[in-house]
Structure 1
Amino acid sequence: MSASTLDADTILPTILITDAQVYAVQRLSPAFVRVDIGSPRFADIARDEGFDTRIKLIFPGPDGALPEIPEDPEQWYAGWLAMPEAARSPMRTYTIREIVGAGQATRVVIDFVVHEDGDSGPACRWALAARPGDRLQVIAPFAPGIAAGNPYRGTEFQPGTATDILLVGDETALPAIARILADLPPQTRGTAYVEIPSGDDVQPLSGPEHVWVTWLARDGAAYGERVIGAVRRHLGLTAHPSSPPPREPDSSASALDVAIWETRTYSAYGEALPDPADVVATDERYAWVAGESALVKAVRRALVDELGWDRRQVAFMGYWRRGVAMRS
């Protein structure tokens, strides 16, 4: 379905599903590979969502084939789950780093975090081996559907009227932080803390003049140690909390299955949410925190449990968890 084939009675979907191919691959640094992907359907991709907008990438299976994705854009995931597991290919979620070009020449730029230590997942292995012409599938925001007033639920950065921004993340959050910085209004003030594997992984970023970026190279330190300490000092707290963090709310799922994901409109723990009419913050400050779950939980504790920030002022997203395989 393209914008040109829609008639007046069509109920517009908010996503597009398309085959795509690789157009360029660039090794940015030891921890990052940039891949430019394209499809004629990207002429209809939504550009105005911006910030940390997420898309789905589906990679070829072991036999090199791509799965038969259900054609209904609004029912594709239910159809995906109904497929035999052997018929599915690896699917992962990524932030759009940039959209370039126009029309059918539109390209989507994705930055992959990679490592070559033998413990990599399917997306990492694909990115390391990617070459121009390689195929994959993409599920992305569909501009005509969103323009018709149907929301795309793949963007979590919602600062409302806040003008003082705190961004915190590890290397997996860097593409989103980079996109957020580029899309912020020029009058925004704030600070971004980014923990990366080494100093070789620093990237040039653009953003408002008064939003300061602090790079924290891990260089063998414990995961999250440098960024958690830096954020606590920024907030006027001691470098380390004086007591252990509270237990997470339990659920019917195993504790390992509960990923931290708390925004104004969603909680992975099923807790009560604000009234939908009251989710737009009017506070001066706003924090967006993403990356490895333990890191995110530690910063959440500082902001919410120790300093009492309201949930309308924060977004916490555990992109992954050490030692636990990512799900589709």
Structure 2
Amino acid sequence: MTSASATATTRTRPAPTTLVTPVLVEAIERISPSFVRVTFGGPGLVDLSTADGFDTRFKVVFPGPTGLLPGSTSTPEQWQESWRAMPEAERSPMRTYTIREITTAGDAVRLVTDFVVHEAATGDESALGPACRWALTARPGDVVHIVGPHRRSPMYGGTEFDPGALRDLLLIGDETALPAIARILEDVGPGFTGHAFVEVPTAADIPVLPEHDLVDVTWLVRGGARQGRTLVAAVRSHLGLPPTDLDAPLPDVSSTLDVEVWETARYSSAGEDLGVPVPDAGSSPVRERPDLQDTYAWIAGESWCVRALRRVLVTELGVERSRVAFMGYWREGVAMRS
């Protein structure tokens, strides 16, 4: 007589990489002329990854033109399919934001983020983008969806700030990058030095940032100047470069994204080999070349500004591309898709 033994096979489900969850607006605060601070709450936020900190991104999915959101599904993949399947006239707009703060009290998790807003010049709200329009009219109890990195994900989430062993920081951005810069200044340790340059629309938009003894912050008020020009001019001066024609055309940078450039140590939107130096454009000589050997640059904001600063650091000053993160968050005059 023979006996057969059965071997049980246990299949382990892969750890989720993405969180999709509905959240409620719990609080709205107009903190300056150009910023609305929104606090979201909901039980699903307990699974949102907050381990990275710094400039961790997530997406907000707003109700579409008909007020609809994608239906609830069992997996993020099914939710994304549901979102893509919505007719164009009904599809919920999706936009990317930085985690400004996560607070936990008992079982309650709250996500705080800052929205850049501007009033319609003609009073016609239909001329505003969907995110701006939503932030200006949102009320406690409103529902949106959050898409972000899952806390159990073993994969890289939505964080680009990665200085490695470098300890001198050059942080540059416009108002759309301000929440990330504020969070970076909160999260970096005392061993970091450097400088941050931030351009905002008005002096009333300058917030009280976390104090860092060794990182100076220069505020630049744009006023009526063109987007990014004041910021680029200030950075050029800081780096010892002579003034230049900021309205001269910049070299094209091909990209698969809405913006012209997104380049970090991990990824190039143009599909370029990040180990290959950018050719010297034959720019004017540096008056007094700064020591950038220990510098890590993090640059984000409007696409023209990011491209101009990419030219400054990589082309004119020869900084290794692995030591700079360039992120075009948006492009002036173009409605972004997500």
* TM bin (shorter chain): 0.7 to 0.9
Sort the Cα spacing of 1:140 and 1:242 in 2 relative to 1 into closer, same or farther, 3 A. closer
Q: Using the alignment, how far apart are the partners of 2:175 and 2:19 within structure 1?
A: 28
- Equivalent residue for 1:61? 64
1:264 corresponds in structure 2 to: 265
- Aligned Cα root-mean-square deviation (Å): 2.4
CA contact (8 A) 2:58 2:98 kept: yes
Instruction: Trace 1:270-281 onto structure 2 (pairs within 5 A).
Output: 270-274=271-275
1:143 has 2:151 as partner: yes
Hey, what does 2:333 align to over in structure 1? 323
Cα 1:258/1:36, change in 2 over 3 Å: closer
Q: For the residues of structure 2 that align with 1:173 and 1:57, how far apart are their CA atoms?
A: 16
Q: Following TM superposition, by how much is the alpha carbon of 1:207 offset from its aligned partner in structure 2, in angstroms?
A: 4.2
Q: In the alignment, what sits opposite 2:109?
A: 106
The structure-2 alpha-carbon separation of the partners of 1:121 and 1:204, relative to structure 1 and needing over 3 Å to count, comes to: same
In the alignment, structure 1 residue 220 sits paired with structure 2 residue 215 = no
Per-residue deviation, residues 72-114 of structure 1 (Å, max 9, x unmatched): 2356545533443234201101011111124531110010000
Alpha-carbon distance change, 247 to 235 in structure 1, aligned in 2, over 3 angstroms = same
Greater helix share, 1 or 2? 1
Between 1:83-92 and 1:197-206, the stretch displaced more is 83-92
For 2:258 and 2:147, the matched residues in 1 are separated by 24
Q: What residue number does 2:166 align with? A: 162
Question: Displacement, 1:326?
Answer: 0.7
User: Does the C-alpha gap of structure 1 residues 246 and 228 become closer, same or farther in structure 2, counting only changes over 3 Å?
Assistant: closer
Determine which of 198, 202, 209 is the counterpart of 1:205.
Answer: 209
SS in 2 for 1:268: coil
Query: Identity rate of aligned residues, in percent?
Result: 55
How far 1:247 moved relative to its partner?
A: 2.0
**1:197/1:243 Cα in 2 relative to 1: closer, same or farther (>3 Å)?**
closer
Q: Would you say 1:313 and 2:323 are equivalent positions?
A: yes
TM-score normalised to structure 2 length: 0.85
Query: Over alpha carbons, which structure has the higher Rg?
Result: 2
SS in 2 for 1:92: strand
Secondary structure of 1:18's match?
strand
Deviation at 1:62, TM superposition (A): 2.4
Q: If the length of structure 1 is used for normalisation, what is the TM-score?
A: 0.87
Query: Which blocks of at least 5 consecutive residues in structure 2 are unaligned?
Result: 1-9, 277-292
Alignment partner, residue 280 of structure 1: none
What amino acid maps onto 2:14 in structure 1? I
Cα separation, 2, equivalents of 1:323 and 1:182: 32
Q: 1: distance between equivalents of 2:48 and 2:226?
A: 39
Are the structure 2 counterparts of residues 232 and 306 from structure 1 closer, same or farther at C-alpha, using a change threshold of 3 Å?
same
